[in-house]
Chain A
Amino acid sequence: MDAKADAAVLSAAARPRLSARWATLLVLAVVIATIPWFFPSGFYFRVAALVWVTALAAVGLQILMGQAGQVSLGHAGFVGIGAYAMALGPKYLGLDVLLCLPLGAALAGVIAFLVGRPILKLKGHYLAVATLGFGMLVTMVLVSEVGITGGPDGIRVPRAEILGWRIRGSETFYWIAGGALLIGTWIALNLQDSPSGRALAALHDSEVAARTIGIDVAAYKLRAFVIAAVYGAVAGGLLALMNGFVTPDAAGFIASVEYVTMVVIGGLASVPGAVVGAALLVLLPQALTVFHDYEHAVLGLLIMLFMIFLRVGIVPGLAALLRRRA
């Protein structure tokens, strides 16, 4: 296909997608703004805030896995770095806890840059095991260095304060988390439609083909890895602030697997899919407590059923079903 036809196809494709992007953001904003009306108690603010924060981490992973096609089984490692920055920064460096949020994100970004350079040369399952190793290392340091990190019992995170106003209460955190997710989703959607996003999509399909048309594959992969890490760290920081406490579980292997599950179950290729997947995996265990002992069995069963019947993920799967009906 020559360049002119290519450009025509691209611009034609870009026009309806532009509106889809704003529609997605609008729906998300409306949901965040209106569901508090249906909350019967303050507890629901807490759970919903947890959904938004988790979704922020999942959206970051979607950029890496869904857009760039690079698996990570160590995403929670970066969440953990962001979370522990909130506890360790004030304790050992005397920093303001709010300052630690961007600092933690920057630290995660730098670590991702250094770690990503060598390990992103690996592909597929080999990359999975390398990122898994990275996540394990982070968890191991957090668990073993009891004198610094508090070990397996975790560590307290100080309350944040802006000009004498203490940030606390589930409702406040709900709006902070919702706002952060909205911004994160907006950036991810923009990225998907930008030249960088197309480069990522190209290398996702075929690295050799992408390289032939002049895309710096290694640089783009590294960029996606760093962006995902920063998303994870910001989410981790907010999570730590919200809970006032953080344990090594936040960085653990199980948490990493959960993030991957969220992204895939929502729809690998879809940014809002990551939000839906996160909502599902945070809310299901809460809802399934009515099953008492059967909680885990039902959760596992539901994950299998979703993936068998909506194999491309919930959001793209339902969209395809609706289109077929229309």
Chain B
Amino acid sequence: MLAELLQFLVSGLTVGAVYALVALGFTLIYNASDVVNFAQGEFVMLGGMVTVFAFAAGVPLPLAASLAILAAVGVGLLLHRLAIEPARGASAVTLIIITIGASIFLRGIAQIVFDKRFHQLPAFSGADPILVAGAAILPQSFWVLGGALLVFAGLWLFFERTLLGKAVLATAANRLAAKLVGVDTSFVLALSFGVSAAIGAFAGILITPITLTSFDVGTLLALKGFAAAMLGGMGSPLGAVVGGLLLGLLESFAAGTISSAYKDAVAFLVILGVLFVMPQGLFGRRSVERV
């Protein structure tokens, strides 16, 4: 029983860490620009796919992973420069449709540049499960959790300890005010797209040895990451992390104890339940509508 619970816990946290990373990507871009970037899942796909293909071409894994992150950052910056920047001032829903277009575009390009098949990476440190208190845990799970933890800590330090981080927070709080005190808000915007893309790609690299990757893995991840961000409260980085981990745990426990076909249903019912009680998510700011 205990072993089973531990098993669900670890697999839930592993998937949840990936959702949390995707949700963080959503949050960063949303805070800087009010754009809900539905191409976020494509960054995860790029991370996995570029690594797979570079690795298959003989590039050592760490270098292949770095290449993938660079490629995703490049795509993120281009997305901002060529698609979001020209539509500056358009309504939020217009910008969302632009990112949906971008996501279809990136998927279309990926199926040409790569292919339509599923691909796997070797696990970073062996594929033999480690037995902990009767639960079999993949070593890759530790990589995912450790990697996610590293990103959370890095972002926290960035926001709390650096001037640039404060500039990003200031832009999120009030764009005009930030501009007035000398923050280069368009640089902050480009930075958020770059960092978001890097985080997404990183998540894609870490999870590929467990879940495989293909050109269209992004859609489902974007959907889950978005749900996680909303559960935590849109705009709150802490909320994104908690929301992602919670969503992963909910799915894992629902699949293990109720029904694997309806694990997403259970997760969504819980999200709905939370939103009925806390309409701004777990950590969202209460907003007052001005008339």
Contacts and interface: CB of A to CB of B under 8 A. Distances in A.
Interface of A: 65, 71, 118-119, 121-123, 125-126, 128-130, 132-133, 136-137, 140, 143-144, 206-209, 212, 253-254, 257, 260-261, 264-265, 268, 293-304, 307-308, 311-312
Contacts of B178: none
B112 A307 contact: no
Interface in B200-252: 219, 223, 226-227, 230-231, 234
A308 B275 contact: no
Contact of A297 (B108, B262, B264, B275): B108
B291 A304 contact: no
B181 interface: no
B275 A126 contact: yes
A122 B275 contact: yes
Interface of B: 36, 38, 83, 86-87, 90-91, 93-98, 100-109, 111-112, 219, 223, 226-227, 230-231, 234, 261-262, 264-265, 268-269, 271-272, 275-276, 279-281, 289, 291
Contacts of B95: 307
Contacts, number: 132
B289 A207 contact: yes
Nearest to B101: A303
A304 B108 contact: no
B100 A257 contact: yes
B90 A311 contact: yes
A130 to B, nearest CB: 6
A119 B276 CA distance: 8
Nearest to A265: B97
7 contacts: A121-B276, A122-B279, A125-B234, A136-B268, A140-B261, A307-B95, A311-B91
B238 to A, nearest CB: 18
A310 to B, nearest CB: 9
Given A132-B227, A293-B111, A300 B106 contact: yes
A125 B227 CA distance: 10
B62 to A, nearest CB: 31
B89 to A, nearest CB: 8
Contacts of B86: 308
Nearest to B220: A253
A295 B108 CA distance: 7
Nearest to B231: A129
Nearest to A264: B97
A182 to B, nearest CB: 27
Contacts of A125: 36, 230, 234
Contacts of B94: 264, 307, 311-312
Contacts of B96: 264
Contact of A132 (B104, B223, B269, B279): B223
B219 A261 contact: no
A130 B265 contact: no
Contacts of A128: 230
B98 A301 contact: no
A137 B87 CA distance: 34
Given A122-B279, A206-B291, A254-B219, A137 B98 contact: no
Given A136-B264, A260-B97, A297 B272 contact: no
Contacts of B291: 206, 208-209, 212
A65 B96 CA distance: 14
Nearest to B228: A129
Contact of B265 (A119, A140, A257): A140
A253 B223 contact: yes
Nearest to A65: B93
Nearest to B39: A300
A137 B275 contact: no
Given A208-B291, A293-B111, A300-B106, A264 B93 contact: yes
B64 to A, nearest CB: 24
Contact of B226 (A122, A129, A144, A304): A129
A89 to B, nearest CB: 24
A296 B227 contact: no
Given A206-B291, A254-B219, A308-B98, A121 B279 contact: yes
Contacts of B109: 297
A107 B103 CA distance: 34
